[in-house]
Amino acid sequence: MKTERLQRGDDGGYANSIASLIRLDAGETRAIRKVLAKAQEPLHISAIGKAAGIDPRKTGQLSEFISNYLQNTSREVQMCFEHTERGKRFTGWRMTEHGKDLFEHVG
């Protein structure tokens, strides 16, 4: 019995592949930005994912999107720290003023 040949989808990826199951789609990235824009205090990755309704299996992609793309490429978020007796402690991610301006213009 021959297996079916893999077919590429419109996005160039293969249907039902592991990568397609964990990739963040445009609606999810927009939900992440919306959560960060509305947050009054810094949020950890898990809190952002929960508030944005992201599947927990996509936590790695969520983390990569926030720490690599939003922080380093578009400069929309920043890491927040608080000073303690022993030094600095990471408190979460916060959207920058630049990120809020971008989000307001796009809507």
Mean pLDDT across the chain: 86
How far apart, in whole angstroms, are the C-alpha atoms of residue 93 and residue 19?
A: 26
pLDDT score of 107 more than 60? no
pLDDT score of 3 more than 70? no
How far apart, in whole angstroms, are the C-alpha atoms of residue 73 and residue 83?
A: 27
Cβ-in-10-Å burial (0-12, 13-18, 19+) of 97 comes to: exposed
Name which residue leads in pLDDT, 104 or 73.
73
Ordered structural domains, the chain, with CATH: 24-106 (1.10.10.10)
Question: What pLDDT score does 94 carry?
Answer: 95
Question: What pLDDT score does 80 carry?
Answer: 95
